[in-house]
Amino acid sequence: MVLISVPCISRFMFFTFNFTPRLIYYKRTINTETNMNINFKGTHAKLSEADQNYIEEKLKSLDKFVKEDDKVFVEAEMDAKHNSGLVFRLEVSINPPKLYAEARGNDFYEALDLVIPKIKEQLSKEKDKRVSLRRRKTALKDLS
């Protein structure tokens, strides 16, 4: 049984639901230090609690780019047809900006280390676009 805290309309109210997850699907919402909603999914691979904590640590670097209501989906997949080579695939998608990054590696940790810079670069570009647009609008108002 897993406990999940889900944020409500107010930031300070939380509801907790009890449920039993399927073997390959994990969902956890992080609200202790970060404001990200992270959903985990493992396909042909079981994500342990330590793996989920490691992913959370790595995703803390994205906290300054991700808003409170954004949802982060992390999917880990082990390719069942390959025995060697890039067997593990990890994908991270963030909604609503609809950003997506995917990486393959020899093991889970290598794939995670490859996917974090990709998604971080996309998030920083998205943030720069928002900031430039806001500054451009205020500059046009000042000229008027």
CB 6 within 8 A of CB 19: no
pLDDT at 20 over 90: no
pLDDT digits (tens, 9 = 90+) for 40-58: 999 888 888 999 999 999 9
Q: Are 60 and 82 in contact (CB under 8 A)?
A: no
Question: What's the topology of domain 2-143?
Answer: Double Stranded RNA Binding Domain (3.30.160)
Q: Tell whether the model's pLDDT for residue 71 goes beyond 90.
A: yes
pLDDT at res. 26: 54
What are the structural domain ranges in the chain? Answer: 2-143
In this prediction, residue 1 carries a pLDDT of: 47
- Mean pLDDT over 9-31 rounds to 47
**Average of pLDDT values for 20-33?**
49
Reported as a pLDDT band with limits 50, 70 and 90, residue 21 is very low
Across 30-129, the runs of DSSP E, i.e. the strands, are 37-43, 71-78, 88-95, 99-105
Q: At what angle do helices 49-59 and 108-143 cross, to 10 degrees?
A: 30
